[in-house]
Structure 1
Amino acid sequence: MCPRHKKVGVVGLLTTSRYEYVKAFEQPDILLPNTWIVVRIDGRGFHKLSDHYVFKKPNDLRALDLMNAAAVEVMKDLPDLCIAYGVSDEFSFVFHPSCQLFERRNAKLVTTIVSTFTAHYIHQWGTYFPSTPLQPPYLPSFDGRAVIYPTTRILRDYMSWRQVDCHINNLYNTTFWTMVLQGGMSNTDAEQELKGTVSSDKNEILFKRFGINYNNELEIYKKGSVLYRQYELQTPNSAQTPTEEDTSVPESTQSRSQQDKLRKLRRKAQVVVDHVDIIKDEFWERRPWILSNKPGKLPA
């Protein structure tokens, strides 16, 4: 397919088509400047998809690794991203307040991430599910939305919320499916017994009935997956934690060459997949480059 070209008049000037008035119907969708942008994607119809391809319950490590592999490629493709967090069939990708990618246009940011993620998810499916090739109509697709957060504190609260949600859902699902698959209970009976229970109740059910210590479950199941660029870890020190001023300097004040240089430095860093606590300060203090958006020193 050839790229589109505008019509050029005989004197070399661009002419205006009589149909070009339709461009006036396009509405601007620029996201507020100097705010954190979180593009969150979710799988569409993944209950049916996971049933069709017989995902293991309560967690299928192959499916989670596939999600992470696709997310890593998104991070590599978009060096403007500073961190991402994933659990189950969702992923949150975070742009720093200084980001000027696509002039901060909502639709461009969301569609680029959704389409890039979906393309890599489908491309790598066979690596993780070699014996079950994709077949219509059970094809993976994702939707997405962009939300802006005005401060670093609120951005961190958002990330904490997703990790807490991961723990709550995983503990419930682990208990529920253990009761069904190992305990022989019906779905309805298991749901009924778990209604109104708290974390300690579920832990007790797992341990006393099935000899399962929830603390020994894989960290990826309990904490989800955190993706970021790896530089040399810093010694925890509150003085190293970026302030709101540090994280709100517009990148637009930098020259184009400076912005390009920063992107090249970020591309050199390895994107790692971690399963750690992102609620406590230590994670952020040891990785100040995430909030400051300033590349650190590459590991030796």
Structure 2
Amino acid sequence: MANSKFEYVKHFEQPDNLLPNTWVVVRIDGRGFTKFATKYAFEKPNDKRALDLMNAAARAVLADCQDITIAYGISDEYSFVFHKSTALFERRASKLVSTVVSTFTAYYIYLWSTYFPDTPLTTPLPSFDGRAVCYPSVQNLRDYMSWRQVDCHINNLYNTTFWALIQLGGTRAADKNEILFSRFSINYNNEPEMYKKGSVVFRDYELVEPGTHNVAQEIEGIVEPVQQSKTQTEKDKKRRSKARIVVEHLDIVGDDFWDRRPWLLSNTPGKIPKEP
């Protein structure tokens, strides 16, 4: 296309490339979701339908974007992790954030009727905001993920207790005794894992035994990114597209989750599990 006299306006765009060789986390949050949850009568303290919908939308984002290695979600938020070697959109923050937010929102609305078949969406429609943060080392990234999961546990424990107490209000003494017995005799450990641990979304490969794989170790958080050939990059992309994207509710604070799934940090696809 020929240049025009108006093309000078492109110079007003400011570069927003994120730091190279760092893990990029795009975290999205629901906008005004307290009112939204009230409008659609979400169950308290946890609505399984709403959480399953969040997880389904997150899976769709991973299927759409091969550069995302893992995602973690609780309540109305989700964190999507791009490998430190990603060059998607030249690592422009605005492009990465807008792509994740728009894709997630589109699937959230598209899949709504699957999880809320008797409650059609009306305006104002659900929307999400997002931000991108860079983490220089694996330890920083894991600490971030641990922070979100620990927050999940703390908030869920508080909310479970809070809503149990709310139900005591306006009841007769006999009802209060019954509620106290039925509610507070329940072992918190028996609560669904999704409520306590949140949801982890990733591509599933064969698990490995800790210590049997070679993943480049970071030294003070600084390593040189591995340069791959175009052929190898395409092969890895195909292997990722064949992998099953799973939603699990596992402990990601300890080492075992990461040690048995080295592909999450190495960005090298593992072996596709054999069909049973």
Give the TM-score taking structure 1 as reference length: 0.84
Kindly tell me the number of residue pairs found equivalent between the two proteins: 266
Residue in structure 2 matched with residue 58 of structure 1 by the alignment: 45
Given candidates 140, 148, 154, the residue that maps to 2:126 is 140
Q: Hey, what does 1:194 align to over in structure 2?
A: none
2: CA distance, partners of 1:224 / 1:236: 24
Distance in 1 of aligned mates of 2:35 and 2:189: 30
Deviation track 1:248-291 (CA, whole Å, cap 9, x = no partner) reads 5435x323332222111111110110001000000000101101
Q: CA deviation digits over 1:68-110, x for unaligned, max 9?
A: 0000000000111100000000000001111111111111110
SS at 1:68's partner residue?
A: helix
The answer as to 2:75 corresponding to 1:68 is: no
Aligned equivalents of 2:79, 2:56: Cα separation in 1: 14
Distance 1:269 1:260 in 2: 15
**One-letter amino acid of the counterpart of residue 126, structure 2:** P
1:157 to 129, 139, 143: 143
- Which residue of structure 1 lines up, in the alignment, with residue 152 of structure 2? 166
The answer to whether the 8 Å contact 1:206/1:214 transfers is no
Q: Distance in 2 between matches of 1:140 and 1:61?
A: 17
Is 1:207–1:213's contact at 8 Å kept on the other side of the alignment?
no
SS of the residue corresponding to residue 244 of structure 1 reads coil
Counterpart code for 2:38: D
Alignment match of 1:184 (pick from 162, 169, 187): 169
Stretches of 4+ aligned residues off by more than 4 angstroms: 205-209, 238-242, 245-249
In structure 1, stretches of 5+ residues that fail to align are 1-5, 7-14, 187-204
Alpha-carbon distance between aligned partners in 1 of 2:14 and 2:149, rounded to the nearest angstrom: 35
Residue 251 of structure 2 aligns to a residue whose secondary structure is coil
Matched-pair contact (CA < 8 Å) for 2:72–2:145: yes
1:114-153 residue CA offsets vs partner (Å, 9 max, x unmatched): 000000000000000000000012x110000000000000
User: Mapping of 1:61-100 within 5 angstroms?
Assistant: 61-100=48-87
- Could you tell me which of 207, 229, 238 is aligned with 1:255? 229
Determine the structure 2 residue equivalent to 1:44.
Answer: 31
Match of 1:115 among 102, 106, 115: 102
Distance 1:185 1:95, change over 3 A: farther
Structure 2 residues without counterparts, runs of 5 or longer: 172-178
| Alpha-carbon separation, structure 1, partners of 2:34 and 2:26 | 22
- Is this contact kept in 2: 1:72–1:227, CA < 8 A? yes
What is the deviation of 1:206? 7.5
Counterpart position of 1:283: 257
Q: Which residue of 1 aligns with 2:200?
A: 226
AA in 2 matched with 1:30? N
- 1:227/1:271 contact within 8 Å kept: yes
Pairwise CA distance, 1:185 = 6.6
Q: How many percent identity over aligned positions? A: 64
Does 2:230 align with 1:243? Answer: no
Q: Are 2:22 and 2:84, in contact at CA under 8 Å, matched by a contact in 1?
A: yes
Determine if contact 1:76/1:267 at 8 Å carries over to the other structure: yes
Contact 1:219 1:275 in 2 (8 A): yes
Contact 1:242 1:291 in 2 (8 A): no
- Contact preservation (8 Å) 1:96, 1:247: no
